[in-house]
Chain A
Amino acid sequence: MTKTLPKYPRILGIALSTRGLGFALLEGQNILADWGLKAIDGDKNNGSIARVREMIEHYEPDVLVLEDTSIKPFRRSTRIRMLTKRIIFRAEKRNVTVLLFPREQVSRTFVPDGHGTKHQIAQIIADKFSDELGFRLPPKRVPWKSEDARMDMFGAVALALMPRSFISAVLLSIPPVDREQVLRDRG
C-alpha cells in the first residue's frame, strides 16, 4: 500500500541514546513545534517505546525519522539497535512512515565534506533555530568529559531536518529542466 504524504509533513525526529532519547517535531516549512529530552530510568527500552508511543499519539506525525543503526560495522549498541527495530515496528503499525538515515549521511548533509562533528552540526542547527535552540547549545565537549545530554536534542532536530534536505539533495542532482518538471509534479 502506498501512502501519499502531504507537501509539508509533520516530522518527528528521535535520537536514541544511553540516557533515553532526544526528540524534535518539525511542521510546515521548518517550524520547530516541539523539542526536548526524555531521560528514561529503569527499563530503558520499554520506557523509550512508551514515550515514543505517547508522542505519536499526541502529535500524530506523518513521518518518523530515526538513525539507521543496521549498517555494518555497527556503531550503536545491541540495545539501541533492538530498540530502533521495535520503534519502527510500532510506528508502522500506527501507519506512520519511518525514514532511516545513517549517521554519515546526516553528517554529509550538514557539513559537505562529511567530517562534521556532532558539535558542528549542533552549531548549524542552533544558528538555524536561534530563537528556540540558540541558548541551549552546550559548550564544545572536552575529551575528559562525557557528552552533554542536550546533544541528543540537537541530534533529533538534525534527523527531523533530513527528509527535506534529502529531497533537496535529490533535486539538486537532477538537471535544471527536469528539476522544474519534478517540482511541478510534486505540486
Chain B
Amino acid sequence: MSSPQLPNYLKANRKRLALSQDEVAFLLGTRSGAKISRYERFAREPSLRTALAFEVVYKRSTSELFAGLYQKVEGEVTERAKILSERKDFGKPSSQSVRKREAFADLAAS
C-alpha cells in the first residue's frame, strides 16, 4: 500500500524548470500567476485546454502531472464499470453485446 498521490505535481515540475508562476501564466495565455498558484495549491482544477498546455510546457503526460486527480477519476470510472458489468440486460447475445461486456469487465478489473 502506498499513500494516495497528490492531486497534481505542477509545482514540482515548474520548479524543475526554474520557471516563475508569472512565466508559466504567460506560456499558458492567462493573465497572472495567481491562477497558477491556485492550481498548484489544489484550490482549482484547470480546463482541458489548460491541462494540455501544462503538458506542452512541462513535457509530462497529463495523467502524470495530475496523478492524484487521475487516480481519483480512475477509481470512480472503475466503480461505475463494475455496476455496468453486473447488469443483466445486455439484450440478445451478439458479438456487440459480448464486446461491450468484455469492455466493462476489463474496466472494472483495472
Contact = CB atoms under 8 A, between A and B. Distances in A.
B101 interface: no
A58 B7 CA distance: 11
A59 B15 contact: no
A59 B16 contact: no
Contact of B3 (A9, A32, A36, A132): A9
Contacts of A9: 2-3
Question: A-side binding surface: helix, strand, loop or mixed?
Answer: mixed
B100 interface: no
Interface in A5-37: 6-10, 27-28, 32-36
B12 interface: yes
A62 B3 contact: yes
A6 B12 CA distance: 22
A28 B16 contact: no
Closest 4 CB pairs of A and B: A8-B2, A10-B3, A6-B1, A6-B3
Interface string A114-154: 00000000000000000110010000000000000000000
A28 B2 contact: yes
Interface in B7-53: 9, 11-12, 15-16, 18, 41-42
Interface residues of B, number: 13
A149 B33 CA distance: 25
B63 to A, nearest CB: 15
Interface string A145-187: 0000000000000000000000000000000000000000001
Contact of A132 (B2, B6, B15): B15
B61 interface: no
Contact of A33 (B1, B2, B9, B41): B9
B11 A34 contact: yes
Contacts of A62: 3
11 contacts: A6-B1, A7-B1, A9-B2, A9-B3, A27-B5, A32-B12, A35-B12, A58-B42, A131-B16, A132-B12, A132-B15
B9 A132 contact: no
A8 B3 CA distance: 7
Given A27-B5, A33-B9, 17 more contacts: A6-B3, A7-B1, A7-B2, A9-B3, A10-B3, A27-B6, A28-B5, A32-B12, A33-B6, A34-B11, A34-B12, A36-B15, A58-B41, A59-B6, A131-B16, A132-B16, A135-B18
A76 B5 CA distance: 35
A9 to B, nearest CB: 6
A6 B2 contact: yes
Nearest to B40: A34
Contacts of A187: 1
A58 B37 CA distance: 13
B64 to A, nearest CB: 11
